[in-house]
Amino acid sequence: ILDLKSKSIKNIRLPVSAPFHCKLMKKATDIMAKEITKLEFKDPKNILISNVTGKEVTRASLLKDLLIKQIECRVRWRESVMLMVNKGVNKFIEIGPGKVLSGLIKRIDKNVKVSAINNEEDIKLININD
């Protein structure tokens, strides 16, 4: 990081617990691949968007491969959200601690509605038909 700063290269240390979505996750990818290949997947009935490609996944055979790749591939979040918006999605619900993804979605498209569920009380406040 100091070397990057000395060269005036912008960098941000991310407060994460592991080096997700990069080649440093190779060992985890190998472990996950062994387990995922044992499973039987069916073609999706609903639209699934891959964060690996930013495209729709329609076949089970692709889904297995993409789940394995997702561990060490970059996340194509912007492309994924834009595809959903282009397909008519205008409401997003983030489930889990914080509102990081909600903020990212609003930066991508200010016209969509974004809600976050952080706990049980939040579930009562969300109207999915709104």
- Note whether residue 24 is domain-resident: yes
Looking at the fold, whether 102 and 69 belong to one and the same domain comes out as no
- Note whether residue 12 is domain-resident: no
Looking at the fold, whether 47 and 96 belong to one and the same domain comes out as no
Among 44, 75, 106, identify where a domain stops. Answer: 75
Looking at the fold, whether 101 and 52 belong to one and the same domain comes out as no
Distances from the Cα of 78 to the Cα of 43, 51, 118, 127, 128, angstroms = 25, 9, 23, 25, 23
Neighbouring-strand partners of residue 91: 113
Task: Domain of residue 55: give its range.
Answer: 18-75
Tens of pLDDT, residue by residue over 63-90, are 999 999 999 998 999 999 999 999 999 9
- Note whether residue 103 is domain-resident: yes
Looking at the fold, whether 26 and 70 belong to one and the same domain comes out as yes
Looking at the fold, whether 29 and 64 belong to one and the same domain comes out as yes
Q: What type of residue sits at position 3?
A: D
Tens-digit pLDDT string for the chain (130 aa): 567 778 887 777 766 677 777 787 899 999 999 999 999 999 999 989 999 999 999 999 899 999 999 999 989 999 999 999 999 999 999 998 888 899 999 999 999 999 889 888 888 777 766 6
Looking at the fold, whether 67 and 97 belong to one and the same domain comes out as no
- Note whether residue 116 is domain-resident: yes
Q: How many domains is the chain partitioned into structurally?
A: 2
Looking at the fold, whether 23 and 47 belong to one and the same domain comes out as yes
